[in-house]
Amino acid sequence: MESFELPTIPEFFRDREIFITGGTGFVGKAIIEKILYSCPEISRIYLLVRCKKGVGVSERLEKFKSNQIFNRIREKDEKLLDKMIPLAGDSMSLQLGLSDEDLAKMENVSVIINSAASVRFDEPLRDAIFMNTRSARELVVIAEKLKNLKVLVHISTTYCNPGYEVIEEKIYPPLADWRQTIKLAENMDGDTLEILAAKYMDFQPNTYTFTKSLAEQIMKENSDRLPIIIFRPSISKENYFPAIQ
């Protein structure tokens, strides 16, 4: 039998282009830092960045680079931080708010990491659907157009299936139809949706667990056509990336 040797992690990431959503968040920052530090031969990392309070994405990126999490990268080689390329967008929007021009820039992306999410437990259902569920669908649509895609890593949560005492490495039955849920959020006003929320969510503890569970359904449904991995971290930050503490 012919042996097959897997590449090391630095070898896998060498010369690759990555697209990451939620890169400025807690988990996203840790992922970016680890990749830049341990895989310095990576080509570039595209970050989905939202314009905020009149501050453009380039300005936000410069401020982001100054974060203390990147201290050891600055000590190693500060130029590594220039591999981060901001793309103006918003996970709440269709096409993730990306322009056609920016989508064209991503044609050589081979790794997608979906780290964007609203982790507020009291998020209005409509907003949570847009942020945690519809954004997953929009990302899949973008991924389908990438000819060199090797993996789409969807960061979910252990707590998207709160009705089970033990969570196995499988996708559980859907709490609702994700397509119908997105349509409701798009066509029903927020106040009316809030009135229906508890019953529609099958009395889930909060909008976060409900909408994240639906995102897993989207990933499952598209896993036969796309190389998708679902990662379910727990709530303890020490369980995310212990080597970066």
166-192 pLDDT, tens digit each? 889 999 999 999 999 999 999 999 888
Give the C-alpha separation, 58 to 33, whole Å. Answer: 18
pLDDT given for residue 52 in this prediction: 81
Joined together, the tokens standing for residue 97 give 């708010």
pTM across the whole model: 0.91
Joined together, the tokens standing for residue 82 give 């220039």
| Beta-strand pair 84-88/228-231 | unpaired
pLDDT given for residue 98 in this prediction: 97
Distances 130 to 37, 102, 232 between C-alpha atoms, Å: 33, 21, 20
pLDDT given for residue 238 in this prediction: 42
Identify the DSSP state of 131.
I
Give the C-alpha separation, 87 to 67, whole Å. Answer: 19
pLDDT given for residue 202 in this prediction: 82
Question: Residues in the chain with pLDDT < 70?
Answer: 1-3, 235-245
Joined together, the tokens standing for residue 54 give 């009149």
135-152 pLDDT, tens digit each? 999 999 999 999 999 999
